[in-house]
Every structure is written in C-alpha cells, then in structure tokens.
Amino acid sequence: MDIKPLIGLGGVLIAAMTSEFNDQVTAVALTDVRGALGISHDPGTWIVSLYVWAEIVGMAISPWLLMTFTLRRWTLFAIALCGISSVLIPFSPNIEAIYALRLLQGLAGGLIIPLLMTTALRVLTPGIRLYGLAVYALTATFTPALASTVAALWTDIVDWRFVFLQTIPLCSLAGVLVWYCLDQDQPRYERFRMLDWRGVLLLVIGAGALSTMLYQGDRLDWFNSRLICVLALVSALAIPLLLVNEWFHPLPLLKLQLLGRRNIAYGALGLFIILIIGQSGSTVPLRYLQDVQGYRPLQSNLITLEIAALQLVMLPAMALLLDYKRVDARIVSLIGLGLILASCIGSSFLTVYWNRDQFYSWQLLQAVGQPMVIVPLLMMTTNVAGPTEGPFVSALINTSRALAEAVGAWFVALIVRWRGALHSDRIIDEVGQDRWRVIQGNGVLPQYPPPLMPDGQPSMPHSLETFRHSVEQQVAILSTSDTFLIMGALTVILMVLVMTLPVRTIPPRILFAKQGKAA
C-alpha cells in the first residue's frame, strides 16, 4: 500500500485533534482565559455555547461540502479556518470579536472532525480499516482525556495565550501533510444546483436555539427567562421541520433513511449516549476535585491523563481483537460497558476525604471500557454502509456526537442543580431540627435579631461561616455521587440497547473479501 495516503490521514488526524483541543482545553482553562481577557462569568459562558452551536452546524454540513469541493481542498480550507480563528482570539479588541472568532473556531472544528472518518474509510484498505476507525476514536476518547493536561501546561506553566496559539504549529503541520499526501479529485460544483438551503437555514436556527438553551438555561433559571422560552419554541419548531425537509430532499445534508438500518441507528444513538456517559470519567471527577478539594488543572490532570495514555494501547488492541471473525463486537461492547458501570458505581462512594489518588483505580476501568465500546460501535456502523454512503454515515454519526456535547453539559448541570437543591434542603432541615431539640433541652432560645456590628451589618460568627462551607461541601459530594449513579443507569440502558438493536457484523477484511468473491 502507498504510504502517502497514510501520511495524509495523519495530517487530518492532527487537524482533528487540534480542533478538539480548541474545544476541550478552552473549556478546562476557561476561568484563566476569562480572567486574562477581563471577562466576567456570565458573558464567559457564551464562549463555550457559541462554539458548540457552530460545531453542530459544521459537523452536519461538512460531508456534503467535501463531496462538492473534494476532500483535499475542503480539508485545507477547514484547517486554515481553524488556525486563523484561534490565533486571533488572544488579540481580540473586545468581547464581540471573541464571540465571532469562537463561532468561526467552532465551525472549523465541526468541519474537520467528519473529514477524519471520511478520509479513513477512503484511503485505508479493508485489511487495515479497523485501525482507521481506531484513529477516529482517538478524537472521542484520547483527546478529551488529554485536554486537562494540556490546559494545565499552558495555564500553570507556560502562558494562557497558548490555549489558542497551540494551533499554529499543529495546523501548519496538518496543512503540509494534507497538501502533499492527499490526492486531488475533480470538484463537483454542479451539486450546488441542488443545494439544500432550507436544511442549512433550519439547521443553523434549530441547532443555535437548542444548544444555547441547553447551555444558558441553568444560568437564566430556565423557563422563568423569556429568552429560554423563545429558544425552546424556536427549537421545537425548527428541528422537526429540519427532519421533514431532510427526509424528502433529493440531496440532503443528513440522509435520515439510513437510520432504518439497525446498525447505523445504533451507531448514532449509541455514540450519543456513550459520550454523555464518558463525562463520568472526565468532567465529573474534575469538577469534584475543583469544588471540594480546590484543585487546579495541574493538580487534577493526572486522573484524566491515565485514561488518555491507555487509549494509545487499547484502541489498536481493540482493532486487532475485532479483526478475528469469532469475536462478536456486541459482546466486546457489553464487557466494556460493564467496566464503565463498575467505575461509576465505585466512584459514587466518594467522601470528603477523596482526592485524585482514590480515583485512579476507577479511572482505569473507564480507560479500558471506553475503547471497548467505541471501536466496536464504529465497526458495526460503517460495515453496513455502501461505497457512496460513507459521507452520509459520517454526517449522521458526527452530528450525533456534536449534540452529545451540548446535551451532556445540560444533563450534568441538571443533575447537580436538581440533586443539589434536594440535598441542601435536607441537610439544613436536619440541622435545624437538631438545633431546635438542643435549644428545647437547654431552655435557651437563640438571639433574634442577631447583634449588629459597628458598621450596622448583622454579625456572622466564624462558626456560621464554617457551617455554610460545610453544607456546600457536603452538597457537592452528594450531588457528585448521584451523578455517577445516574451515569451508571445510562450505562445499563446502553447495555440493553447493545443487546437488542445492532446485528452482528464481521471484520472489514473478511467482509470485503467475501463481496469480492461474490462479484
């Protein structure tokens, strides 16, 4: 096999990892970035939500556009957009410019990720195609887990600007490899005559309304906010219209008819769920260490670095294992989900005494379980696609992946808010009842109103401040425990889905050999 396409695939991989760093590293280092740019908390939340909005749009439209402009040209454009939009952010004159650049940065990230799957399916022969799927899985498991370490490197050791300037060497290298190693096809500009412009418009409106509602809803108190009500109404109208339009359009952005195939339906739904569950191995423990133990990224990155390092071993190992005909990808997925379930249950027993050392063993189960789910999922999904259906499958899979990021952030915030309010009320109620029993027993009533300080403000004894901090700490611990348990419940749902929805597939090496003999 010619080595040049493999080098070109490496260039697309570097570009995809760079775009993931733009998303994940910025999210981890957001507090430092906001502080350096002089942005307060509420405006800073838009830095993440705008990125996700544009990323969803980019992932849906990229496969259609690459078939029109050719893989090589479209990849180079996406890499250039990613690099330019990222480099300009630290030098932005105002917050409006930052918002605009984050939109372009998210669009570039959304454009690049589907190109990795399409390139792997195109340049790799059936004998090594599973390893190409493992390469794609790197961006779903390895890069998010490595983001905390990279964020710690830039914010705590080097300089916060490198959160964005890291794209200069990475995009430059990716562009050179793609330019010299990917073949140039003939563009098909005639496809613009059948451009699905209604689909693009509905996608931009629906994705923007939904992702913004999910990211900003908790901050704005959900349906007590007029903005959230409007966004909910817009998304409720635009998304069903988008689905109807895509179903009947002759050249759609999303070929929804493919979801009638059980394995493709499982791929879209399964990847959506597993990426939400994956937060139990990254976002949730990092949030606990930050809120309860006061960790900085440099102190907490080792628990996610463990997951990242093991992906370099587990992903190719899964590709090698699944290449045997006797190995059932569904069974491998069930074992992996069992390990993730054990990790969620074990992590739910956390206490105030837990630090990163107590997470290592449970993170090990996450590190082994995640690739055992994602690589079989990708194999079962892509093996049933025809020669011309690869971009359409890529669009469905990657749009599901982008939506999972927005829904996952909303889901974790919902659990923390819902369970946190419940635990806070219960703790304060129990303490109040105990205090009243003590007062009744001693015959001493509390002083009310409280004595005033010289400045006229009510005094707050040191013990009361300590009590408030203890309540907040216990609420954070109990909410985190509940989050792990709910993620475990989602894992059980996915286990049922694996056992019922997909059908068994054989490795591409054997499948394509049989098809060649039949022809």
Question: Each residue's pLDDT tens digit in the chain (519 positions)?
Answer: 568 888 999 999 999 999 988 888 888 888 888 888 888 888 888 998 999 999 999 999 998 998 889 889 999 999 999 999 999 999 988 899 999 999 999 999 999 999 988 888 888 887 788 888 888 888 888 888 888 888 888 888 888 899 999 999 999 999 999 999 888 888 888 888 888 899 999 999 999 999 999 988 888 888 888 999 999 999 999 999 999 999 999 889 889 999 999 999 999 999 999 999 988 777 888 888 887 887 777 777 788 888 888 888 999 999 999 988 888 999 999 999 999 999 999 999 998 888 888 888 888 999 899 999 999 999 998 876 666 777 888 889 989 988 998 898 889 888 888 888 888 888 877 766 655 555 555 544 444 444 444 554 444 455 666 777 778 888 888 999 999 999 999 999 999 999 999 998 888 777 665 554 544
Residue 512, SS3 per DSSP: helix
For tokens 């980019």, what's the residue? 58
Those residues with Cβ within 8 angstroms of residue 48's Cβ, 6 or more apart along the chain or in another chain = 26, 27, 30, 215, 409
Residue 113 tokens read as: 């990720």
| Domains of the chain, CATH where assigned | 3-195+251-421+474-518 (1.20.1250.20), 196-250 (no CATH)
Structure confidence at residue 140 (pLDDT): 84
Q: Which amino acid is at 147?
A: A
Neighbour count for residue 393 (Cβ, 10 Å) = 26
Nearest to 307 by CA among 375, 359, 351: 359
Those residues with Cβ within 8 angstroms of residue 198's Cβ, 6 or more apart along the chain or in another chain = 245, 249
Long-range contacts of the stretch 192-199 (C-beta < 8 A, 24+): 192/68, 194/250, 194/251, 195/251, 196/64, 196/245, 196/246, 196/249, 196/251, 196/252, 196/253, 198/245, 198/249, 199/242, 199/245, 199/246, 199/249, 199/252, 199/253, 199/254
Q: What is the 3-state secondary structure (H, E, C) of 308-319?
A: HHHHHHHHHHHH
- Between the alpha carbon of residue 108 and those of residues 22, 29, 62, the distances in Å are 10, 20, 10
Q: What's the CA angle centered on 419, arms 417 and 425, to 5 degrees?
A: 95
Q: Looking at the DSSP assignment, which residues form a beta bridge with residue 390? A: none
Nearest to 7 by CA among 161, 133, 174: 174
Give the separation between CA 343 and CA 353, rounded to whole angstroms: 18
DSSP state, residue 465? H
- Between the alpha carbon of residue 302 and those of residues 145, 146, 148, 293, 309, the distances in Å are 10, 9, 8, 15, 10
- Distance from the Cα of residue 6 to its chain's centroid: 27
Those residues with Cβ within 8 angstroms of residue 233's Cβ, 6 or more apart along the chain or in another chain = none
What size, in residues, is the chain?
Answer: 519
Question: Which is it for the CA torsion 314, 316, 319, 321, positive or negative?
Answer: negative
Give the separation between CA 226 and CA 210, rounded to whole angstroms: 15
Q: Which amino acid is at 518?
A: A
For tokens 């997951």, what's the residue? 307
DSSP state, residue 458? B
Nearest to 16 by CA among 84, 105, 110, 87: 110
Asked if 12 and 119 count as a contact pair (C-beta separation under 8 A), the reply is yes
Asked if 476 and 291 count as a contact pair (C-beta separation under 8 A), the reply is yes
Q: Looking at the DSSP assignment, which residues form a beta bridge with residue 458? A: 452
Nearest to 15 by CA among 130, 185, 182: 182
Neighbour count for residue 82 (Cβ, 10 Å) = 28
Encode burial over 306-337: b for 16+ CB neighbours within 10 A, e otherwise: bbbebbeebbbbbbebbbeeeeebbebbbebb
- Between the alpha carbon of residue 34 and those of residues 43, 48, 296, 422, the distances in Å are 9, 12, 15, 31
